[in-house]
Amino acid sequence: MPWKGIKDPYKIWLSEIILQQTRVEQGLDYYEKFIFFFPSVHDLATADEGVIFKLWEGLGYYNRCKNLITTAKYISEKLNGIFPNTYQDIITLKGVGPYTAAAIASFAYNLPFAVVDGNVFRVLARLFAIETPIDSTIGKHEFNELAQQVLDKNEPALYNQAIMDFGATVCKPVNPECGTCTLQQHCRAYQVGVVNKLPVKEKTLLKRKRWLYYFILQHQDTILVSKRTSKDIWENLYEYYLIESDAEILWNDTSIQQHLHHQLGIKNAKVTSVSLMVKQHLTHQLIQGQFIQATLSSIPHNLQQGQWHPINQLDKLPFPQFINQYKLIVG
């Protein structure tokens, strides 16, 4: 991983924001793209936001990208491009929480702050046989205090990277390498046979279900698009005309024509495609829906002020992955 061992706080911050809620294998390409196009915080701060969101496209959790832009502008404009060098100042940055602040403080400045990610939670829970749920308020406090206590204060950056790597490669979630583990004789969970029961979580994630039906309305060589501006998923990304429902809608040619006619004033639309049901799992939501493509002979009055974007320029707009999975049928 190219960010390992570096001391540049900008690159460390960038890697940590990208890796929030993202697997390393997926985040690596994005990190390299951002470093190539924006080698410094000034470059990121002065870049066109549409370009930044386009580069972020497919990474998900787009609020991270919004915070990235805000923080880059703040550091560039208010701090003359000089990244904060204390934990207390780093944690005030938009989108930076205790974990990310500790990572930047430790890896960039070798400050004595423990970095507690999922790997560290797991190692500590097993090594000390702690049954306190790691996702509880009490558990988070207990594990953070313990991590700080056992931190090597002389080499915090090296120690933090080591315990994180140890959790990723030896003390793995499933089938950990207990037989060859160098900490076996010190591991209380191993001694009492509860390794695979730890760490404990108390919360069961309940996912909200949403149905999104996108009408791809084409007139000549343009398609109607709009930018999502509400405080919701995919903020600042583009989408097609949307009908959202809390329950599944069964679309056929008749119901599609009726909706276009009664809701949008569109007559004699040619429905060219109705996709199969598609799904995307987000952390707290299950998104399901379809893409309904139709060609219009004219643009009705109530849609004339909409953004009709040239089809051959659509790839320049940032769309969520849910939309990108659908391949337009251009006709």
Could you state, in order of their start, the residue ranges of all structural domains in the chain? 1-113, 116-204, 208-324
From the list 16, 25, 77, 177, the catalytic residue is 16
pLDDT of residue 303: 84
Provide the pLDDT for residue 2.
66
Q: What is the pLDDT along the chain (331 residues), one digit of tens a residue?
A: 667 778 999 999 999 999 887 777 888 999 999 999 999 999 999 999 999 999 998 888 788 999 999 999 999 999 999 999 999 999 999 999 999 999 999 999 999 999 999 999 999 999 999 999 998 999 999 999 999 999 999 999 999 999 999 998 999 988 899 889 999 999 999 988 888 889 998 876 677 899 999 999 999 999 999 998 888 888 889 999 998 888 888 998 888 988 888 878 888 889 999 999 999 988 788 999 999 999 998 888 878 888 999 999 998 999 998 998 888 776 5
Domains 1-113 and 208-324 share a fold: no
Residue among 206, 223, 310 at smallest CA distance from 273: 223
Q: Cα 6 from chain centroid?
A: 23
CATH topology of domain 1-113: Endonuclease III; domain 1 (1.10.340)
* Half-sphere exposure of residue 331: CA atoms within 13 angstroms, side-chain side: 13
Q: What is the pLDDT of residue 302?
A: 78
Q: Identify each DSSP E strand in 220-300 by its residue range.
A: 222-227, 238-245, 270-274, 278-281, 285-296
The CATH number of the structural domain formed by 116-204 is 1.10.1670.10
In the block, which residue shows the tokens 């594990």?
143
Residue 62's pLDDT is: 84
Query: Can you name the CATH fold of 208-324?
Result: Nucleoside Triphosphate Pyrophosphohydrolase (3.90.79)
Is position 32 annotated as part of the catalytic site?
A: no
Give the pLDDT score at 140.
Answer: 93
Q: Strand 270-274 vs strand 238-245: parallel, antiparallel, or unpaired?
A: unpaired
pLDDT of residue 83: 94
Return d(Cα 40, Cα 240) in angstroms, integer. Answer: 34
